[in-house]
Structure 1
Amino acid sequence: MPSRTSRLTLVGLGIGLIASVLMSSPAQAARPSAPGSFTGHGFDTCVAPDQATMDAWNLTSPFSAVGIYISGISRFCGDDKQPNLSPQWVAQNARNGWRFLPIHVGRQAPCFANNPKSSVQKPKMSNSAKTARQQARTEARETIAALKRYGFGKRSVSYLDIEWYSRTAKCDRIVLEFVDAWTRYLHGKGYKSGLYSSGSAAIQAVDQARRSGRKGFRAPDQMWIAWGNGKADTKGGPYLSNSGWKKQRIHQYQLDTTVAYGGASVLIDKNYLDVGKGSRPGKTPTLCGVKQTFTRYATLKIGSKGPQVKTLECLLRRRGVLSSVDQHYGIGTARAVDAFRASLGWGPTGTATRATWTALLSGGRNPRVLKQGSVGPSVWRLQRSLVAAGARPRLTGVYDSSTVKAVQAYRRSRGLPGYTTTEASVWAELQRGQTA
């Protein structure tokens, strides 16, 4: 990854963001994911940001994964240059929902050319395959120790950073021996192997070895391709063929760019991940046996019938204002609607409107934040609430690009900052029945 001595500039946090942090539900204990199953955005930066920045970006940025430099003699940002990175920092950010990309920067290809002006002169792999393999195993032991120190469990991935080098057959051969030995050692200890490199360097060399069926070669589990084409996807272009590492890819698509979220500005590389099993939805939820796939919510009143009435009555029963469900909108249902309306400070009408639906459907415990790649019951709840409010996302159970657009449209309609995330301020508007 590009050499940088400092990548963090904090320019302040807004009052609204701090309020949003305070309104969020308490973070739950979580095992750090490195990186787990996920499809969405991440970033890497040389110096791990301080906690205030991580909190700001957690609530306002599209990023869910952060690259951290945990091991290796060739790091520009080694332990002595990491004022924030610690097991406690990892644990806190894991509780807040962050995923991690642990990076190891050690020996480089034999033909790697150091920049003589660089503050870190990277050592190189031996030209002897036997010795290079020993060096790889030593570095794998080092990264496993670091993974353990930071709280990452078995099956976590450590990404071996091999910087760009001018490829030759002889140099490639040593790199492949090193990658093979690194991967085998990690696998033998229950961990996973990742490879980060320029598309035209080690990424291409390893992919060619896979496609040619190189005898005895143990390929990395995940490939992290540096290819600054500006496209947030996991396509490998001319460097990484589509036939390998499906859903085991990270694309570093923009390098050395300064971006700001929530008042915090950081110099980063942008990445897009599709790893593990990816972001997969759970089962489509039902309510009283009704599948919740409505693409609009009708205004209901006395005399209305059908599945939406049953859904409405179930939601009212959950709120404790209705005792039975019969799919017929009668006097009892109208009174329950008015009781719910009264809880929001609204006057009686006996009618379930879009605002009523929005407030009912959005009710529940609020996660700290949802963003692209999030999955789970809260995503289904958000998507149904946005449909009721008039923002029209697809009902997928995954916080996908459709949900991102719907959230941005809803935020604009409510005068909120145009972030792509759903945090306390969005839930507050929905739970007050505010429509788009």
Structure 2
Amino acid sequence: MRRLGIVLTSLFVALAVAAPAHAAKPSSPKRFTGYAFDTCVSPSDRTMDAWNVASPYAVVGIYTSGNSRYCDDAKQPYLSPAWVKRQANRGWLFMPIHVGYQAPCFDSKSKKLRMSSVGTTARRQARADADEAVRRAAYFGFAKGNAVYLDIEWYDRTNRRCDAVVLTFIDAFVQRVHQRKYKVGLYSSGSAAIQSVNAARLAQRKGFDFPDQMWFAWTNRRANTDGGPYLSSSLWTRNRVHQYHNNVALTYGGEKVTIDKNVLTVGGGSRAKKERKVCKMSPTLSRYRSVKAGSRGKDVKLLQCLLRRSGYKTTVTGRWNARTTKAVKAYRRELGWKQTGSTSRALWTALLSRGSTPIALKRGEVGEPVHRLQRSLRASGQKVKVTGIYDARTTSAVRAYRKRMGLPAYQTADVRVWAALQAGRR
């Protein structure tokens, strides 16, 4: 047990200081299903790092531009291109928010600037806002193809003249942003601009440039993308963001932030990447049985292949031979285990989880590390499908594994989860 503790400690230290394999470009969600939060003042690096590991959120809304931002540059002690780049390197995705001209009939007590009631002037203001939104997005490192989010606060859409001008403004803003090769997400209350744009699309309004995504505020506290009475079930089904709970003070990793909670499906949702084969075979098995001298089959071949990829000398034949025994003993010795020439579910768990380790995996993420996590969790005894998508079942399996290991009840696969898996703990 002492040796196992040393292995776990060494793994934890190595993984905790590991940097991302390569610099990531700042990005809005492209194909993603998961959770986002937005908050007025972008949090410190310390807070973002704590939330990255402990929270279910993978996307953060940041207030990047607009003449009506309450949290403008003067109130942002941390937000900068360097801050965005650092968070991107740690896996965060972003929703760059533009809060510019508001509806002519917007709350008169507010200091936010209002768009003109004259359509031609409102169009000119919208184009200027669009140029600013794109320019500032580029300043923060977001390349063409990313989305900027236009924030139109609640207004009384029963005021038809006011509503018509807002639609004119949105049309011109979207058109200009599209010309600049960016995408647009429209944020508004469900009962305000969201409902109006939805009605325009249902009516097949000609010549109107519709947003690519609809981000609707409907604080029903239900974490789904059902638009209820505001957003038709047949429209924007692949590109929705629901702000479902506002002004919630949450603490993760000891860091408290007041946020708005969001759930999103954009680009059709998270999609599995192709599984990497080893020795021209899938490393995903229906079960990972114990094998030993005399065993043969696909699982023996996979064992031999994984051992060879890990630097142990063995031949990939599908039949257990003397080299397999020697390699298994050497691997067990590395783990500090008893020198026996056989496998177990613990050995499969450790072997399948070997490889580069992300800072944290969470809901919506895809790719080879997710495949590897799911396989090793399955080998450890958790019920999980190997899909390559960190989905609800994977979240449940991770939480169950964390509980079994005595780890904090997070939804993420962080360095401590990987350290336990790579030590073969079940």
Where on the TM-score scale, by shorter chain, does this alignment land: which range? over 0.9
Q: What is the TM-score when the length of structure 1 is the normalising length?
A: 0.92
AA matched with 2:123: R
Deviates more, 1:32-41 or 1:184-193: 32-41
Shift of the alpha carbon at 1:192?
1.1
Match of 1:187 in 2: 178
Distance 1:247 1:292 in 2: 31
Shift of the alpha carbon at 1:277?
4.4
How many residues align structurally?
A: 414
Shift of the alpha carbon at 1:37?
2.3
Match of 2:127 in 1: 137
**Is contact 2:314-2:323 (8 Å) kept?**
no
Shift of the alpha carbon at 1:268?
0.2
Shift of the alpha carbon at 1:214?
1.0
Match of 2:6 in 1: none
**Is contact 1:24-1:424 (8 Å) kept?**
no
Q: Deviations over 1:375-394 (max 9, x none)?
A: 11010000000001111211
AA matched with 1:104: H
- Give 3-state SS (helix, strand or coil) of 2:37's partner: strand
Deviates more, 1:323-332 or 1:61-70: 323-332
Q: Does 1:90 align with 2:80?
A: no
1:213 corresponds, among 204, 220, 238, to 204
**Is contact 2:15-2:357 (8 Å) kept?**
no
**Is contact 1:203-1:239 (8 Å) kept?**
yes
Q: Deviations over 1:377-424 (max 9, x none)?
A: 010000000001111211111000111010111111111111111111
For residues 169-188 of structure 1, the aligned pairs below 5 Å read: 169-188=160-179
Shift of the alpha carbon at 1:296?
2.1
AA matched with 1:205: S
Alignment RMSD: 1.5
Match of 2:289 in 1: 298
CA gap of 1:379–1:22, structure 2 versus 1, over 3 A, is: closer
**Is contact 1:227-1:252 (8 Å) kept?**
yes
Distance 2:362 2:174 in 1: 32
**Is contact 1:369-1:424 (8 Å) kept?**
yes
**Is contact 2:225-2:265 (8 Å) kept?**
yes
Distance 1:261 1:22 in 2: 20
Match of 1:326 in 2: 317
Distance 2:281 2:63 in 1: 48
Q: Does 1:68 align with 2:62?
A: yes
CA gap of 1:21–1:41, structure 2 versus 1, over 3 A, is: farther
Match of 1:58 in 2: 52
**Is contact 2:65-2:99 (8 Å) kept?**
yes
Distance 1:185 1:79 in 2: 24
CA gap of 1:148–1:403, structure 2 versus 1, over 3 A, is: same
**Is contact 1:295-1:392 (8 Å) kept?**
no
Deviates more, 1:159-168 or 1:325-334: 325-334
Q: What is the TM-score when the length of structure 2 is the normalising length?
A: 0.94
**Is contact 1:358-1:389 (8 Å) kept?**
yes
Percent identity, aligned pairs only?
Answer: 52
Shift of the alpha carbon at 1:22?
6.6
Deviates more, 1:183-192 or 1:31-40: 31-40
CA gap of 1:322–1:21, structure 2 versus 1, over 3 A, is: closer
Distance 1:209 1:265 in 2: 41
**Is contact 1:36-1:99 (8 Å) kept?**
no
For residues 247-262 of structure 1, the aligned pairs below 5 Å read: 247-262=238-253
AA matched with 2:16: M
Q: Does 1:352 align with 2:343?
A: yes
Distance 2:145 2:350 in 1: 41
Match of 1:204 in 2: 195
Q: Does 1:233 align with 2:227?
A: no
Deviates more, 1:139-148 or 1:21-30: 21-30
Structure 1: 5+ residue stretches without partners: 1-15
Structure 2: 5+ residue stretches without partners: 1-8
Shift of the alpha carbon at 1:322?
3.0
